Amino acid sequence: AGCAARVRAARLHQRLLHQLRRGPFRRCQLRRLLCYRPGGGAGGLQHGFLLCDPRDSPDTRSALLALLDACPEAPRPRLAEFSGDPLCRLWQLPWERQDGLGWRQLGRERVVPVPEPVLHPVVPDLPSSGVFPCREAARAVLEACTSFIPEARAVLDLLDQCPEQVQKGKFPVIVIEGLDATGKTTVTQSVSDSLKAVLLKSPPSCISQWRKIFDDEPTIIRRAFYSLGNYIVASEIAKESTKSPVIIDRYWHSTATYAIATEVSGGLQHLPPAHHPIYQWPRDLLKPDLVLLLTVSPEERMQRIEGRGMEKTKEEAELEANSIFRQKVEVSYQRMENPGCHVVDASPSRERVLQMVLSEIQNNCN
């Protein structure tokens, strides 16, 4: 029901998630629950939780009802219990909150299996919740956040100083992408030195000071911040590429791949298929001449991370702990189109990797 409503719902969902991991719910198993209409379509998705109490304690039920009573932002939450019977059938028992009269349990409904959807149900919603197709779509999200995130207004003020349409100069623009510990920092610096190029990063330094604030927000807000960072850095790219080559440490592909891998639950088979529109470059964002994707084996990455001895980011911890998530990020990178990613094996020596990267640039750029 509009961007502001999506933002409010996402923040409520995140707050409930934190509360369902504490206190009387700590012994429960908490899983992601998606409710969607058969046939899909944007706007029909609802995010929820599946809470499994191995003790089947009435205290857990009471605590859950009390938690929902204390949520004025959700006046009519959808709540139900699931239970099996001796014939191995599954039943849903809905609960209803009566105004001023507490909760009452309604009848029961049989739960039956249905065919898995052809497309993961979150995919139609991605353009309005994480992989924004244009500047205005991401801007509307941060506009809805200005009343409770002061830094959102500061980001928008910087964005509004950037022209909506910018053109690349005559010099090549090269993006270098890759997971953490694939050698991006070293390669981008070495390439920029070799080509006497300007080195830029996304998000740019003018807003990167606020990353921690937005990283703690729900996906829709976090991804809007990173998306607008791309548009701000695009203005710098347009200016600098009139004078020299430009090398960029991460750009739109990084923003999109992490959003897709995070939001699309399940394994690789649930990712949008190759050539799906979600992998297309935004129509109003300055496009680079070349995108290089640095890759190393998972074992090599972990050795490098441990060797750096640095504190892991939230996404890095997820990449390390969840091999499926890492694979979804890598496959999403490889499915990006217009422009696609040129894969470079970053396992050899620093000198050899630099040589391969410069060769790719020479072969693909004027």
Tokens of 53: 């109490």
pLDDT band for position 306 (cuts 50, 70, 90): low
Token look-up 């949520």 returns 71
Q: Work out the mean pLDDT of the chain and round it to a whole number.
A: 90
Within a domain: 340: yes
Average pLDDT of the residues in 74-92: 90
Distance CA 363, CA 360 (A): 5
pLDDT band for position 204 (cuts 50, 70, 90): very high
Output the pLDDT for position 97: 86
Identify the CA nearest to 240 among candidates 162, 169, 161.
Answer: 169
Within a domain: 117: no
Average pLDDT of the residues in 27-34: 93
Q: Which helix (H) or strand (E) holds 11?
A: helix 3-19
Output the pLDDT for position 72: 81
Q: Which helix (H) or strand (E) holds 84?
A: strand 79-84
Neighbouring C-beta atoms of residue 305, cutoff 10 Å = 17
Residue 310 pLDDT exceeds 70: no
Distance CA 207, CA 278 (A): 26
Last residue of a domain, one of 69, 89, 110: 110
Residue-wise pLDDT tens digits, 100-158: 778 898 999 999 998 888 899 999 999 999 999 999 999 999 999 999 999 999 999 99
Say yes or no: 131 and 223 in one domain. Answer: yes
Output the pLDDT for position 25: 95
Within a domain: 150: yes
Within a domain: 21: yes
Per DSSP bridges, beta strands 173-178 and 246-249 are parallel
Residue 300 pLDDT exceeds 80: no
Output the pLDDT for position 184: 86
Half-sphere exposure of 300 (CA within 13 A, CB side): 13
Within a domain: 325: yes
Contacts of 365 (CB under 8 A, 6+ apart): 172, 174, 289, 290
Distance CA 141, CA 138 (A): 5
How far does CA 126 lie from the centroid of its chain? 9
pLDDT band for position 2 (cuts 50, 70, 90): confident
Say yes or no: 291 and 146 in one domain. Answer: yes
CATH number at residue 360: 3.40.50.300
Residue 312 pLDDT exceeds 60: no
Residue 306's domain comprises 123-365
How far does CA 192 lie from the centroid of its chain? 29
Q: Which helix (H) or strand (E) holds 219?
A: helix 219-240
Output the pLDDT for position 307: 64
Last residue of a domain, one of 62, 81, 110: 110
Within a domain: 118: no
Within a domain: 193: yes
Say yes or no: 71 and 160 in one domain. Answer: no
Last residue of a domain, one of 110, 141, 162: 110
Within a domain: 115: no
Say yes or no: 56 and 80 in one domain. Answer: yes
Neighbouring C-beta atoms of residue 19, cutoff 10 Å = 15
Identify the CA nearest to 177 among candidates 120, 269, 251, 244.
Answer: 251
Q: Domains in the chain: how many in total? A: 2
Say yes or no: 340 and 305 in one domain. Answer: yes
Distance CA 334, CA 103 (A): 50
pLDDT band for position 317 (cuts 50, 70, 90): low
Residue-wise pLDDT tens digits, 237-267: 999 999 999 999 999 999 999 999 999 998 9
Say yes or no: 91 and 134 in one domain. Answer: no
Residue 99 pLDDT exceeds 80: no
Say yes or no: 102 and 135 in one domain. Answer: no
Say yes or no: 106 and 128 in one domain. Answer: no
Residue 314 pLDDT exceeds 80: no
Are 238 and 173 within 8 A, CB to CB?
A: no
Tokens of 286: 């300055």
Say yes or no: 180 and 253 in one domain. Answer: yes
Average pLDDT of the residues in 336-363: 94
Percent of the chain at pLDDT > 90 equals: 69
Per DSSP bridges, beta strands 90-98 and 246-249 are unpaired
Say yes or no: 223 and 317 in one domain. Answer: yes
Output the pLDDT for position 43: 66
Output the pLDDT for position 73: 80
Tokens of 352: 């050899």
Distance CA 253, CA 336 (A): 7
pLDDT band for position 364 (cuts 50, 70, 90): very high
Output the pLDDT for position 185: 86
Residue-wise pLDDT tens digits, 31-56: 999 888 776 666 678 889 999 999 88
Say yes or no: 208 and 347 in one domain. Answer: yes
Residues pairing with 206 in the sheet:
none
Tokens of 32: 């992601």
Say yes or no: 13 and 152 in one domain. Answer: no
Residue 301 pLDDT exceeds 80: no
Full DSSP string of 151-176: HHHHHHHHHHTS-SS----SS-EEEE
